[in-house]
Structure 1
Amino acid sequence: MSQSINAKLRASHLIRLIDGIRVIGPDFERFGGMLMEQLLGIPLTHRGLNVLGFPVGGDVDTHSPDGTWVAEYSAETAYFAKDMPKATKDLNHALAKKPDAREVVLLSAQKRVSAAEQRFMAKARARPDMQGRTVQILDSRDIAAMIVDHLLTSDRAVSLLGPYLPVLEQLRDEQAATLQVPSPGEGALDRPAIDAAFEAELTKSPCLVVSGHGGAGKSVAAAAFAKRRVDAYHNQLWLKGTDVPSVESLNAVAMVRAGDSRNVAYLLKSRPTLLIIDDVDLDLALDKLAALCGPGSHIIVTSRRDGGYVPPPFDEAEAREVVNRDIVEPCPDEVFQVIWDAVGGHPLTYGLINGTVRNGASWADIREDCRVIGELPDRSDRLANRLLARALNVMGRELAFFLWVGKADCDRGFAVRVLSPVGLRKLNDACLTTPDWPNVVRLHDVVFASLQTLAVDLPEVAGAFTDQLAAYIEEAATYGDGLPFWTVSQSLDVRLRAAISAGDRRSAFVYALLETSPSASLDPDLLEDPSAMVDRILATSGDRVPAINTMAVIETIEAGYLYRKTRDGKTAAETALASQMPVFDRLETDCRLTIQQHAELEHHRGKALLRLGEKSAAIAHFEAVLAGSHPLNESRLQLVKLVARDPKKAAEVETMTRALLEGFGGRGDVTTSVFLAAVESLPWHDAPWRHDLIKMHGPTIEDVL
């Protein structure tokens, strides 16, 4: 199991991947072949396709070049039925067609039935023709786990498997992936000569330095090159120069894909990876970067220092194309000449002028701006400042928002909440944003840099933005499907940590960082004494205690246990947890808590007792939740798992399992994760009620899994 991904996030990924794997259908064989090739990292031979796209019969589905490793794939829904005849047929076929096979892997898109698999494996091991051979069965959960643990951080694997398993691309896009190469933008000019120059330079050295002043098109050229060479690399990564103060620091930089992280320096050595470091610090030792690259890996560095490849500026035709884009009245020749004389072929300037005119400025205004800056040495930067200053009257709040965020990009959901779709359209229409992944809004880096010079002219609204962030996180954490909570928490991680460092320990901020940080990399400063947190809750006036406050206390206890278990061992973690148990009693005394908050406290007290080895006491608390005024399905699920093997509790297990399955979807409030966990916990012994439930809820189970 990957140790670099949050356990709750990993479980969520598994559920969604299992769902997708179950519905791949006839394409499962192609999917399986690509999956095994990516996992093994060696070329495999796959059965061909006929003119209609169907597999050619006769040979095995996949085999190694020497025939010692064989795989067969099946999407049949009854794969694990009775004596597993399909698996037996596939095993017979593999041994008949590949007599040298020593390892046979059978992949099924279905969820295993343990009893049926055990009978099959026992018979297989007893076969004379299986002596000296092994057979392994991988079900939908095994496949999902291998993807999460080994392939989720490979952009190439995601791209290859994504057409058959779309949820993979959704996980990559929805979760706040880091280091992704941004799109060059739909309006970016096609400049094939620059691509060819990049290609030629990278044949000489694995590290290419692209030089030029800000806005010269270095970043767009690098992003365009990456887009056109996407099939050449397993991963394409983008780092800001400020994140790489030294070559050695790359050993500490993590790439995150769908919540899972990998070391960048390791990726460069271990798989073909393209790393782009944008706008590097002048002190970075560029000569040492090439040594980081393994076979097939390259590093492209953009820099404002002298030396390296310099992208050519726009010629007049390119400049006219950009400055006149989507404008009713094209730039007059005499004004264009003034612009050209002032800034030459500086690419970004023509985009900014285009946006400024589409936002209401006249060509006369542009001519005057160019005249004023015409005698200055840094004319392009000065013109960018003047053009941005013209936008303050119509989008001052939008620009102040990004100054508050503290970086050029922000989670789109939160940006829409604060700025509204109208505000984002204003930024786009002014050509201040650059296209990025669907869940991100990004300003052009040069535009963001110009904001610093205009800070005193921007409205003072930082306090309001911070309040809106707290409210948005609280809403996302307590309602909905949880995805907006994860994306905003990870996107604004720096802002959240800055708030806490400044003493703003609002429950929403603490809860967000605790919930989304892997135990191994958790900042211990977040782990406040839960008793002190309760002191504040009890001392605060009001008719109610916000749910996020009790959630933060509970998460502090749970995250603290997992952190200490990882760092100090289970005994130390249990000792600390035992000392925190009175916190539950103190919170229970607050009469302002809702019945739901009381139930959640009782439930998590039960989970804590379970971790302390007090199973009987834990069961008693879960039972108390179900007997109370606000029974929780999570407590019902815990009891199903804890007492499923107790013959005396068989009737209760049946009743609780029925409630969990019947309460899903439009019939009740059972969440998808609880429903799937309940299905997974169904006892596989021969119980009539089990068969009744499967028959009754089979279509729903098939739809969800």
Structure 2
Amino acid sequence: MTEEHAEPVCHLTKSGLQMQSESIKKRIIKSLIDEIVSIDATSLELFGHRLLELIEKKKLIHHGLNKDHRPVGYTVDTFSQSSDVIGEYSAEKTYFVNASKEYETPCFPKVANDIDHALSHGNPKKIYLIASQEEKESFRAKFLKSDHGQKYANLVEILDARELAKRIYEFSVANPSDGAFFGDFFPDFAKNLENYEYYGRIPSRCENHQSDDLVLSAVQKQFESGTGVCVLHGLSGSGKTQAAIDYVRQNVDRIGNYIWIYGDDFKKGTTLSSIKRSRGGTPFNVAGAFNSCPTLLVIDNLDWAVDESTFEELKLGLAAGGLILVTSTLNLPGQSYYVATPSLSFETAVKVLGEDISKLSELARCYVEACRFSPLILATTRSICKVNGIDKESFYKEVLEKPDLLSSQDGTSILREVLSRLDTHSQEALVMIANSTSGTHDARFLGAFITQTASINLQRLSILQSATTPGLLKVHDLICDAVRTTPDAQPVSDAIERFVAEGSGEMLTSAIRQIHLCEKQLMATHRARSTRQPDWLMYALMQAGGDARSEIAAKLHGLKITGKCSLAEVLCIVDAKEDFAYTIADNVAREAYYKQCADEYQSVIDSGVRDELKVELLHHRGKALRRSGSAAEALSSFQEILAYRSEWHAAHGQIAHLGTQKEANDQMKAAGEASMIWLVERILSGYSAVPLRVSLAAIARLRSYPKVISAISAEPEKVKQLSDVIAIAALDGLDQFYEAFLAFTSKFGYEHIDVTIALAGAMPELLTVPPESIDTKQWTSACEALSNTAQSAKSVGKAKLANRLIASATIFAQALVNAGELKPFSVRAVMKAFLAADMPDRALDICEQFAPKTKDHWLLYRKSQALLELGNTQPALDVALEALKVAKQDSKAEDRIASYYELLSKCAEAIPDISTAIAYCQDATRSGAGGKYMQQLKERLSRLKAAAAQVQPGT
């Protein structure tokens, strides 16, 4: 098999597909958890009963609801004929909250009541407690200590939102009819399953969509003309996006790779080499990806006209067979790129409306002719009439008898008439979305904004649909235009403020995403409120970063925190103080400022504040102390937090961070390792068990905990689980991805090379990320991680993947050099990148430029490599000897000593001095190397001995 067939440039490898598939599965389950958490009590009982029947593999009786779907109190919710199996359901938010005081026996009132209720019904052998909330991490241990836990734990099986999501997913995948049942309760889940192959890369198809050959033929004809660019233009709602989805699905195997971006992300005057997706997801270099292999690029809903100069930077990709498909409501007459969207064929339009062409009435025929220009109107008519039980013939007649509706050129009047048939609750919800001036929202937030019931209803009608980015839901622009009454930023801003407040300021992905989606609305509301005390609205805006954060922080950092402050005030002021600290250039002055902040936080704690504030202040006091050089005091502060909240991930993360500091003593290192073990155990228990940012930070710091790494590395499945977390982070677009990716590749890349390669292969977009798209603090991590992975790819013969990784690594390396003064760690990463790119002279220049008199053994190692590759064998050996001497004095290099001896062996071999090369290689095998690396060293030793045996005395 040729390399061309063995390794497509942009297609995923088999292992890459498996990696992507597992990541997608986990993302879909996580999204489903969000839907379950927001479900109403009635729906919980209805889908929960079916789930229990599937689990038990038998029919059960459901008496928890009456004929009007109202709760019934005199019986258990679900039970078997013999009552040996009983199920109880609860949507209470406090289901897993311990109601007892700190030193009392744990008590969970609703759990206890459900168990007692089940026991009163008979003598069950199994009691299922079904809860729509996610159980708290400490729940199980505390429940087992409670009175009911000690008595009945062997009878009880508790299924929280997380477990429910896993079971629903598995049953839905195994049986499509079960998937269809659960899809009625969880429309986003149903769409995610339907769009599984394209999850997170293109939107899902509309519910009533019908492919039309006229439209697809028009697109194909344009591409066959040889331009490589097709701008499909037409009225809003004319089916352009759905046609683009169809074209991707039908042609991706023929073309190769595909990329989908929104017009919002490609602003006029910007470059395609630095796209930053505004609606979530990872920033990436579209031009780089497009030019690297044949690619179909879709730019959906572009609101400005394109010409020959627009795609200048994509010429290489176009010449290689790439295609660009743009959808737009704009037309540029005479421009060869532009193709009008043909009206649906009459037959296809009839199918979209849901009519049978062989039985078509005259009214239906006239309605189809009047609305054929807009598949959106036809599909919406079909859904609303079906769900709301509206007689279609009567509706067609009403619309056709109103000439003013039919005279509307863009279809908004007809669509407004159609949408007026929605139930009141759904109508009001839709108007709220339209008036927010953002048609796209986070799914979990939307349930809080318009209620989950309205959200589900609108999804069932395909009015609210899944966006490309997982976790987002959108309403078509034309629908928003049709129902909008008065644009108003305040209601959505108020809802976001409540959403953030209910989470006590914890910045979960849903909150961050929604803040970014509505930053303009939040800022407008903020300015309208004028001067006031810090509140949750300010805190939300500060999480958006950029100008919004700077503007607010500048006015808050001088405020004092008192015991009377609200939690929002404390968080805002603390964030503002941290921002101000970054503006202090002098290190001594900055440390003094942090110490001042730590003292201020302690004085507030000493004044006697409620636990909620005390925990936050202890956390930020600990961070300030760490930054001021008081590591021991910082550890005490974080450990005090754990006395209040033993399962607080952020505190464990900070302790693990402390254990990696240069000034860390044995106590700090031990505490750090204990917290790292605690975090890893929870990360491995399920990726959603730990906030993603904390998980990434923990993985990034694993390099400082060799015992933990060794334990993980010994179990390949655990390594795979960690890689899944990193892959999921890439989908969420977190810059911390690079720190975690670096740690993963440096510690697991050799022994678990297949996982590393699969991780890179599953995320081709990340291989072309330009430095300016991510935080400068991540450049070094990105540079070294890409170099590490390139070396792994090269070692298994993945030359093309390795070359792409090396190209990206050198871009970051050059960006670091151009940025100016480099710290040793960055110099090391830059040298590694240039060495991987077979540019040893460049690597040596960097060392001489930024660290000419270095005593850093990591740098000396790279310097020796560069000298060796340039043929300067004796200087290379001398530098390698110095590197080994220094490395032996560094406890952090203990597990790397073998590689230093191997480098010495290579230098000696190149001199050539085979006997010395053998001696150094033997030293390497005695220096603690293990696994695959030990095997490699033994093979090298055998080769050297064989070479020595062939050299006769006197030759």
Q: Give the TM interval when normalised to the shorter protein.
A: 0.5 to 0.7
1:202 matched residue in structure 2:
223
2:448 matched residue in structure 1:
417
In structure 2, relative to structure 1, the CA distance for the partners of 1:278 and 1:196 (3 Å cut) is same
Find the partner of 1:405 among 430, 436, 452: 436
1:184 aligns with 2:205: yes
2:497 matched residue in structure 1:
470
User: What is the distance in 2 between the residues matched to 1:228 and 1:276?
Assistant: 14
Tell me the CA shift for residue 571 of structure 1.
2.7
Aligned pairs, number: 522
What pairs up with 1:367-516 in 2 under 5 angstroms? 367-373=397-403, 376=407, 378=409, 380-391=411-422, 393-437=424-468, 438-452=470-484, 454-455=485-486, 463-476=490-503, 482-503=508-529, 507-515=535-543
User: What is the distance in 1 between the residues matched to 2:278 and 2:302?
Assistant: 21
In structure 2, relative to structure 1, the CA distance for the partners of 1:249 and 1:638 (3 Å cut) is closer
1:30 matched residue in structure 2:
none
1:309 matched residue in structure 2:
339
Matched residue type, 1:189: Q
Question: Is residue 581–residue 590 contact of structure 2 (8 Å, CA) maintained in 1?
Answer: yes
State the identity %: 16
2:632 matched residue in structure 1:
619
Q: Deviations over 1:41-67 (max 9, x none)?
A: x95685xxxxxxxxxxxxxxx9x9xxx
1:682 matched residue in structure 2:
705
User: What is the distance in 1 between the residues matched to 2:256 and 2:578?
Assistant: 39
Tell me the CA shift for residue 503 of structure 1.
4.7
Matched residue type, 1:211: H
User: What is the distance in 2 between the residues matched to 1:179 and 1:702?
Assistant: 24
* TM-score normalized by the length of structure 1: 0.61
1:550 aligns with 2:575: no
Matched residue type, 2:380: L
Tell me the CA shift for residue 197 of structure 1.
3.2
Q: Give the secondary structure class of the aligned counterpart of 2:413.
A: helix
2:585 matched residue in structure 1:
571
Question: Is residue 640–residue 656 contact of structure 1 (8 Å, CA) maintained in 2?
Answer: yes
Matched residue type, 1:311: T
User: What is the distance in 2 between the residues matched to 1:582 and 1:331?
Assistant: 81
In structure 2, relative to structure 1, the CA distance for the partners of 1:600 and 1:698 (3 Å cut) is farther
1:236 matched residue in structure 2:
259
Tell me the CA shift for residue 369 of structure 1.
1.6
Matched residue type, 1:342: A
Q: Deviations over 1:449-473 (max 9, x none)?
A: 2233x449xxx8x655433322222
Find the partner of 2:324 among 295, 299, 305: 299
User: What is the distance in 1 between the residues matched to 2:244 and 2:656?
Assistant: 51
Tell me the CA shift for residue 439 of structure 1.
1.3
In structure 2, relative to structure 1, the CA distance for the partners of 1:447 and 1:623 (3 Å cut) is same
User: What is the distance in 2 between the residues matched to 1:248 and 1:474?
Assistant: 36
Task: Point out the more displaced range, 200-209 or 187-196.
Answer: 187-196
User: What is the distance in 1 between the residues matched to 2:205 and 2:579?
Assistant: 40
Tell me the CA shift for residue 383 of structure 1.
1.1
User: What is the distance in 2 between the residues matched to 1:419 and 1:470?
Assistant: 14
Question: Is residue 372–residue 378 contact of structure 2 (8 Å, CA) maintained in 1?
Answer: no
Tell me the CA shift for residue 490 of structure 1.
3.8
Question: Is residue 240–residue 341 contact of structure 2 (8 Å, CA) maintained in 1?
Answer: yes
Question: Is residue 530–residue 553 contact of structure 1 (8 Å, CA) maintained in 2?
Answer: yes
Find the partner of 1:216 among 219, 223, 238: 238
Q: Deviations over 1:508-548 (max 9, x none)?
A: 4444454465x8x985324334434x44x64x96xx732x4
Matched residue type, 2:206: G
Question: Is residue 602–residue 622 contact of structure 1 (8 Å, CA) maintained in 2?
Answer: no
In structure 2, relative to structure 1, the CA distance for the partners of 1:189 and 1:655 (3 Å cut) is closer
Task: Point out the more displaced range, 262-271 or 663-672.
Answer: 663-672
Q: Give the secondary structure class of the aligned counterpart of 1:185.
A: coil
In structure 2, relative to structure 1, the CA distance for the partners of 1:588 and 1:273 (3 Å cut) is farther
Question: Is residue 622–residue 636 contact of structure 1 (8 Å, CA) maintained in 2?
Answer: yes
Greater C-alpha Rg: 2
Question: Is residue 219–residue 278 contact of structure 1 (8 Å, CA) maintained in 2?
Answer: yes
In structure 2, relative to structure 1, the CA distance for the partners of 1:179 and 1:243 (3 Å cut) is farther
In structure 2, list runs of 5 or more residues that go unmatched: 32-197, 723-955
Tell me the CA shift for residue 399 of structure 1.
1.3
Q: Give the secondary structure class of the aligned counterpart of 2:455.
A: helix
In structure 2, relative to structure 1, the CA distance for the partners of 1:573 and 1:251 (3 Å cut) is farther
Q: Deviations over 1:74-95 (max 9, x none)?
A: xxxxxxxxxxxxxxxxxxxxxx
Q: Deviations over 1:229-264 (max 9, x none)?
A: 345354412323x66563556566424797542254
Question: Is residue 445–residue 499 contact of structure 2 (8 Å, CA) maintained in 1?
Answer: yes
Matched residue type, 2:19: Y
Q: Give the secondary structure class of the aligned counterpart of 1:284.
A: coil
Question: Is residue 253–residue 263 contact of structure 1 (8 Å, CA) maintained in 2?
Answer: yes
User: What is the distance in 2 between the residues matched to 1:43 and 1:164?
Assistant: 22
In structure 2, relative to structure 1, the CA distance for the partners of 1:704 and 1:498 (3 Å cut) is same
User: What is the distance in 1 between the residues matched to 2:290 and 2:382?
Assistant: 39
User: What is the distance in 1 between the residues matched to 2:21 and 2:199?
Assistant: 20
Q: Deviations over 1:153-202 (max 9, x none)?
A: x9965997242354544798889x99954233243212244334323312
1:163 aligns with 2:18: yes
In structure 1, list runs of 5 or more residues that go unmatched: 1-32, 34-41, 47-61, 65-153, 565-569, 685-689
Tell me the CA shift for residue 205 of structure 1.
0.8
Question: Is residue 185–residue 435 contact of structure 1 (8 Å, CA) maintained in 2?
Answer: no
Q: Give the secondary structure class of the aligned counterpart of 1:262.
A: coil
User: What is the distance in 2 between the residues matched to 1:573 and 1:181?
Assistant: 47
* TM-score normalized by the length of structure 2: 0.47
Matched residue type, 2:434: L
2:350 matched residue in structure 1:
320
User: What is the distance in 2 between the residues matched to 1:163 and 1:699?
Assistant: 15
User: What is the distance in 1 between the residues matched to 2:549 and 2:366?
Assistant: 55
User: What is the distance in 1 between the residues matched to 2:314 and 2:537?
Assistant: 39
User: What is the distance in 2 between the residues matched to 1:387 and 1:342?
Assistant: 14
Question: Is residue 493–residue 537 contact of structure 2 (8 Å, CA) maintained in 1?
Answer: no
User: What is the distance in 2 between the residues matched to 1:496 and 1:178?
Assistant: 30
User: What is the distance in 2 between the residues matched to 1:550 and 1:350?
Assistant: 52
Q: Deviations over 1:103-154 (max 9, x none)?
A: xxxxxxxxxxxxxxxxxxxxxxxxxxxxxxxxxxxxxxxxxxxxxxxxxxx9
